[in-house]
C-alpha cells in the first residue's frame, strides 16, 4: 500500500511538472501588431485660378481599427489657407495668380492606436488671363 501511494504521488508530480513546462497554465497573452492606416489624399487636380478646391480624404482607411484624426497641410507653393484642415473634407480658395503654379498638400491620418500615414495631392492652377489675352497691335503686324 505504501508503494502504491509513492507511485501515485510520483505520477501526479510528474504530470503537474509536464503541464507547467508545456505552458499548460501560462498567463501570457499574445501581442497583436497594429497595422498603420492608409492615407488617400486623392488624385491630382488641374483647375483655373480664382476657384475653390475641395479635398476629400474620406477614402482613407484602417484595416484593424478606425481613423481618429485627419490633418491637411500645405508642403509646397505660395502659402494658402486650408479651411477645415482637421477634417476628412477640407478646402482652399485659389486666388488670382500671375502665372501657372503648382501647390502640394499632404494629408496625415492617425488611427485609434496612434499609427499614422501620409498622402500628397498636387493642385496645378492655370492662369486664365494668359489664355484670354488678345495679341497686341504689334503682334498683328508681324503675322
Sign for the pseudo-dihedral over CA of 129, 134, 140, 143: positive
CB 45 within 8 A of CB 121: yes
**Residue 60: pLDDT above 60?**
yes
pLDDT, tens only, 84-101: 999 999 999 999 999 999
**Residue 142: pLDDT above 70?**
no
**Residue 66: pLDDT above 70?**
yes
Give the per-residue pLDDT at 51.
95
Q: How far apart are CA 143 and CA 111, in angstroms?
A: 62
Mean pLDDT over residues 15-19, rounded?
48
Report how far apart, in Å, the C-alpha atoms of 64 and of each of 61, 86, 121, 124 are: 9, 22, 25, 35
Which residue, among 125, 126, 108, 8, has the nearest Cα to 67 in the 3D structure?
A: 108
CB 80 within 8 A of CB 51: no
**Residue 2: pLDDT above 80?**
no
**Residue 24: pLDDT above 90?**
no
**Residue 25: pLDDT above 80?**
no
- Hey, what's the cell of 25? 497554465
**Residue 140: pLDDT above 50?**
no
Amino acid at each position: 500500500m505504501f508503494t502504491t501511494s509513492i507511485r501515485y504521488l510520483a505520477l501526479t508530480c510528474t504530470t503537474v511538472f509536464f503541464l507547467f513546462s508545456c505552458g499548460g497554465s501560462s498567463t501570457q497573452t499574445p501581442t497583436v501588431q497594429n497595422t498603420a492606416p492608409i492615407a488617400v489624399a486623392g488624385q491630382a487636380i488641374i483647375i483655373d485660378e480664382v476657384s475653390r478646391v475641395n479635398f476629400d480624404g474620406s477614402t482613407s482607411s484602417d484595416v484593424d481599427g478606425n481613423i481618429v484624426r485627419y490633418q491637411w497641410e500645405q508642403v509646397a507653393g505660395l502659402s494658402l489657407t486650408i479651411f477645415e484642415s482637421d477634417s476628412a473634407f477640407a478646402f482652399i480658395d485659389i486666388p488670382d495668380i500671375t502665372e501657372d503654379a503648382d501647390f502640394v498638400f499632404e494629408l496625415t491620418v492617425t488611427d485609434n492606436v496612434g499609427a499614422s500615414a501620409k498622402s500628397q495631392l498636387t493642385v496645378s492652377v492655370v492662369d486664365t488671363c494668359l489664355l484670354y489675352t488678345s495679341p497686341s497691335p504689334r503682334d498683328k503686324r508681324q503675322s
